[in-house]
Every structure is written in C-alpha cells, then in structure tokens.
C-alpha cells in the first residue's frame, strides 16, 4: 500500500556518535533522521499517501473520494507525526546496533557523495509524484534491462546488494494485514473475515506486490542516479554492502516499519468510519 524505500547541522553540533556512548538512543535516532534528510522525504510520503488514498476512495467509498477524505489521509501521514513514529522505531532498533558501524554510515552520508545521493533521491521521488514521470521512468528502466546496458546492471547490483526488494515486500504485506485487521475491527466489512482469511487474502497479493516493488524501485533508482558516473555508483554499491551501509539500512527499515504499520492501522479505522458515514 505504501512504498517503502532505501533510502546536517545536528551532526556538526553533536559530534561523532561512537565517541558519545552515553547519548540517549532517541537522540541518536533523531540524528539519523536529520542526516538522512527525512524532513525532506516525509512530506513526499504524505503526498504519495494522499494520491493512493484518492484511488482507494474511488473504489471503496460510495460517491468516491471527497476533500474530507483527502484531509484525513494527509493528517494520518502528517510529517511531524511520521517523525515521531519513525524515531520510535529506530530507537527500539538501536539496542542491537553497533554504534561504530552506525558512525561509519553517518560519515558516508556526511560526505560529498552521500549528500549527492540523498539529494538525487529526494528530487526523483518528488518528480515521480507525477504519474507521467513515473511511467516514463518505469519504461526507461525496462528498456535498459532489455538492452542489457551497463547502467541497468549496476542498478540491479545495487538493489541486490542493499537488499531493497524483500524488506519492501514484507513491509507491504504487514501494512496490508494491519489495514485489513483495523478495517474489520472498526466495522468496515459487512461480513467479518477470520484472521486466516485476512492472511490468505494478503498473501494472494504477494506476487503483484513483489512485481510492483521490483519495477518501482528499479525505475526510481535508475531515474535518481542518472547523473552519477559508473564509478560513483560502484562506490554506492560498495557502501551498501558495508557494515556502515547495513547499519543505516537496518535502522531506516525499523523506522519505516513502525511508522507504516501504525498509519496502516489508522487508515483502516478511518476507512471503516468513512464507509459507515456515507449514504448507500
């Protein structure tokens, strides 16, 4: 339902994480948030959710989407709220994180190439809010794969090294299940489903979810990293497979999982209430 992605002043003020072992975990999590420029990403996640909420409204509600529904979806995905949820998820995951690896990851993203990667990712994600841009990016990556270009091979290696597909599929399934459970619990289904039926229904969507994740991630990175040289992409791939890269990725995934599970539950409840409020 929602896309997950791999993916500062505060670092300059706080100094190295590894040198401050007594830094409270919530402060470390906020440090990661700021370093990864998630204040820039969160509004894009909200806008993506509003666009997907519009599609949901057209198919789920009598009379289709309304301005009120769009406002509800935007409020559920408010950037300030996403930050609280995301930081909570990262904070919980920090107990199993080697702070030296985390420091190496933060150091990379403080550098020129790391900053360039983050900027390109944000610009591309904003651009892909436009359906025509997304379609063009998907088509361009598909052509590059079909032609066997070196750039397509590099993007495929990056996706594999960073392990971007499987966590996105798992998170998508978990979000779908959370939505369905909350939707049913709030009275959205005229005929209640068992837990087994909810799980079966979610898993029936797994092939399509996987295909969409593979296509979207590839198109997104192919578009985002187009300005990079092959050497820069090789460096990014090497970092993704390093302990520092994996430490950052693990925390990001924990943050996204916590945030998206909660907003999925909230969306399920909101959708059920919206259906009951609509005239038949």
In a domain, 10, yes or no: no
In a domain, 84, yes or no: yes
Q: Are 118 and 37 in contact (CB under 8 A)?
A: yes
Long-range contacts of 127-136 (CB under 8 A, 24+ apart): 127/223, 128/219, 128/220, 128/223, 129/44, 129/47, 129/48, 129/51, 133/223, 134/216, 134/219
pLDDT at site 280: 59
Q: How many CB atoms lie within 10 A of CB 118?
A: 19
In a domain, 3, yes or no: no
63: left (phi over 0), alpha (psi -120 to 50) or beta: left
CA distance 25 to 92: 8
pLDDT at site 15: 40
Number of domains in the chain: 1
pLDDT at site 279: 63
Give Dmax (Cα) for the chain: 62
Q: Are 35 and 8 in contact (CB under 8 A)?
A: yes
In a domain, 246, yes or no: yes
Give Cα 179 to chain centroid, integer Å. 16
In a domain, 1, yes or no: no
pLDDT at site 14: 36
pTM for the model stands at 0.88
CA distance 269 to 146: 43
pLDDT at site 277: 81
44: part of which helix (H) or strand (E)?
A: helix 38-60
Exposure letters 205-221 (e unless 16+ CB within 10 A, then b): eeeebbebbbebbbbbb
Q: Which two tokens stand for residue 51?
A: 């666009």
What contacts 146, CB < 8 A, 6 or more positions away?
A: none
pLDDT at site 192: 85
In a domain, 44, yes or no: yes
pLDDT at site 214: 95
Q: What is the pLDDT along the chain (280 residues), one digit of tens a residue?
A: 434 333 332 223 234 444 444 578 999 999 999 999 999 999 999 999 999 999 998 988 887 778 899 999 999 999 999 999 999 999 999 998 999 999 999 999 999 999 999 999 999 999 999 999 999 999 999 999 999 999 999 999 999 999 999 999 999 999 999 999 999 999 988 888 999 999 999 999 999 999 999 999 999 999 999 999 999 999 999 999 999 999 999 999 999 999 999 999 999 999 999 988 876 5
pLDDT at site 201: 92
The domain in which residue 266 lies consists of: 19-277
pLDDT at site 22: 57
Among residues 202, 169, 4, the alpha carbon closest in space to that of 86 is found at 4
For 55, 220, 226, 229, 260, the CA distances from 138, given in Å and listed in that order, are 20, 8, 13, 21, 24
In a domain, 141, yes or no: yes
CA distance 108 to 270: 40
Q: Are 234 and 88 in contact (CB under 8 A)?
A: no
In a domain, 14, yes or no: no
């Amino acid at each position: 339902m929602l896309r997950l992605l791999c993916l500062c002043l505060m670092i300059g003020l706080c100094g190295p994480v590894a040198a401050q072992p007594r830094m409270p975990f919530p402060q470390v999590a906020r440090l990661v948030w700021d370093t990864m420029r998630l204040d820039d990403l969160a509004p894009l996640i909200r806008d993506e959710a509003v666009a997907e909420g519009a599609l949901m409204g057209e198919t789920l509600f009598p009379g289709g989407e309304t301005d009120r529904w769009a406002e509800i979806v935007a409020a559920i995905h408010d950037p300030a709220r996403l930050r609280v949820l995301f930081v909570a998820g990262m904070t919980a995951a920090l107990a199993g994180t080697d702070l030296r690896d985390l420091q190496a990851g933060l150091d990379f993203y403080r550098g020129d190439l790391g900053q360039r990667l983050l900027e390109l990712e944000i610009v591309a994600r904003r651009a892909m809010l436009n359906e025509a841009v997304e379609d063009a990016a998907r088509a361009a990556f598909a052509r590059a794969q079909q032609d066997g270009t070196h750039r397509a091979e590099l993007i495929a290696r990056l996706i594999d090294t960073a392990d971007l597909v499987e966590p996105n599929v798992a998170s998508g399934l978990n979000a779908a299940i959370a939505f369905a459970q909350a939707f049913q619990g709030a009275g959205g289904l005229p005929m209640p489903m068992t837990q087994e039926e909810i799980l079966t229904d979610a898993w029936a969507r797994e092939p399509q979810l996987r295909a969409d994740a593979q296509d979207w991630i590839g198109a997104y990175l192919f578009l985002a990293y187009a300005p990079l040289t092959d050497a820069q992409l090789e460096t990014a791939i090497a970092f993704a497979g390093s302990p520092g890269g994996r430490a950052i990725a693990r925390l990001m995934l924990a943050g996204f999982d916590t945030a998206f599970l909660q907003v999925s539950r909230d969306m399920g409840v909101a959708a059920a209430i919206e259906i009951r409020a609509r005239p038949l």
